[in-house]
């Protein structure tokens, strides 16, 4: 089955209401161009480094403006709308980095909480500790949709291939990686990682990204893209600002790629033997 997919690139600020309005405008544009599955980036609702200011606008699912706006858009436009993620207040005072998938009826199909926390120390003093505020998820998810099976991930998850392999083995034909990749890591790894996840699983990868300099001072890499199961780049956005990336997705390409290189079937269990050179000899 073939369908048109869209990845929405945003440069979300600190005001959830403005971000919701920007999302709605871009989603309507993508739907007008024929997209029936539309994905927004990680942290669609707001990007805010200041934890106190962040908590001042944080809401639970029932009160979140991105959730309510997305639900209405899906119903209005008759599309599957995938909010790549937004920050949601959860029990215990922490935050979930949570994705939402809505059906054309507006029904919420499922959610996915980002599993892997971005706790890193990069060059030039750039450091992040998501685990200090966010509650990590613990469950991978695959949604069986009319046009194919969709596997979920968010941003830093892309560096953990076992998540994508688990979803592919569960039947996922489309893997999703909405993100807010830093410019530093994006320049080095973004496209390589997305194409690798597509190739090694014989699956489409759709990745909507944040792109540009944000109100809280951070800079994200952008380059939202859609990759086919052979690792070919079907469409890509620029590095900064808003954009809509569109591509025709033919699910038959998944079976074709997996038929040529059936590595999902060919994988074997193995053990690890760690060998120690007790003599400690050093070659001359």
DSSP letter for 202, please. Answer: T
**What confidence score (pLDDT) does residue 280 get?**
65
Active site (annotated) includes residue 281: no
Q: Which of 11, 149, 155, 167 is catalytic?
A: 155
Structure confidence by residue, pLDDT tens digits, 19-56: 999 999 999 999 999 999 999 999 999 998 888 888 98
Structure confidence by residue, pLDDT tens digits, 237-265: 999 999 999 999 999 999 999 999 999 99
Structure confidence by residue, pLDDT tens digits, 151-186: 999 999 999 999 999 999 999 999 999 999 999 999
Active site (annotated) includes residue 11: no
From the list 234, 163, 236, the residue with the least C-alpha distance to 200 is 163
Residue 75 CA to residue 111 CA, distance in Å, equals 17
Q: Read off the pLDDT band of 190 (50, 70, 90).
A: very high
Q: Which of 11, 114, 149, 173 is catalytic?
A: 114
CATH number assigned to the domain with residue range 2-266, chosen from the 4 options 3.20.20.140, 1.10.150.120, 3.60.110.10, 1.10.3720.10: 3.60.110.10
**What confidence score (pLDDT) does residue 161 get?**
98
Average pLDDT score over residue span 97-106: 98
**Domain edges within the chain:** 2-266
Active site (annotated) includes residue 155: yes
Q: What is the mean pLDDT of the chain?
A: 94
CB 234 within 8 A of CB 4: no
**Which helix (H) or strand (E) covers residue 73, if one does?**
helix 65-77
């Amino acid at each position: 089955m073939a369908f048109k997919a869209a990845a929405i690139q945003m440069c979300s600020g600190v005001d959830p209401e403005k971000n919701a309005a920007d999302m709605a405008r871009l989603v309507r544009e993508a739907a007008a161009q024929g997209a029936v599955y539309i994905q927004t980036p990680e942290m669609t609702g707001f990007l805010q480094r200041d934890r106190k200011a962040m908590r001042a606008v944080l809401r639970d699912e029932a009160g979140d403006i991105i959730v309510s706006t997305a639900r209405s858009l899906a119903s209005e436009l008759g599309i599957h709308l995938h909010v790549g993620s937004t920050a949601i207040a959860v029990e215990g005072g922490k935050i979930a980095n949570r994705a939402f998938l809505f059906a054309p009826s507006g029904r919420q199909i499922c959610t996915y909480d980002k599993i892997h926390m971005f706790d890193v120390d990069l060059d030039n003093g750039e450091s992040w500790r998501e685990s200090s505020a966010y509650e990590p998820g613990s469950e991978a998810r695959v949604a069986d949709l009319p046009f194919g099976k969709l596997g979920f991930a968010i941003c830093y998850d892309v560096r953990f291939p076992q998540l994508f392999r688990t979803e592919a083995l569960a039947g996922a034909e489309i893997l999703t990686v909405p993100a807010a990749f830093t410019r530093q890591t994006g320049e080095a790894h973004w496209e390589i990682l997305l194409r690798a996840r597509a190739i090694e699983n014989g699956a489409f990868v759709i990745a909507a990204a944040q792109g540009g300099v944000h109100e809280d001072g951070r800079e994200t890499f952008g380059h939202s893209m859609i990759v086919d199961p052979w690792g070919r780049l079907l469409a890509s956005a620029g590095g900064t600002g808003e954009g809509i990336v569109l591509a025709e997705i033919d699910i038959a390409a998944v079976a074709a790629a997996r038929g040529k290189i059936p590595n999902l079937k060919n994988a074997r269990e193995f053990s690890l033997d760690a060998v120690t050179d007790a003599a400690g000899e050093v070659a001359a």
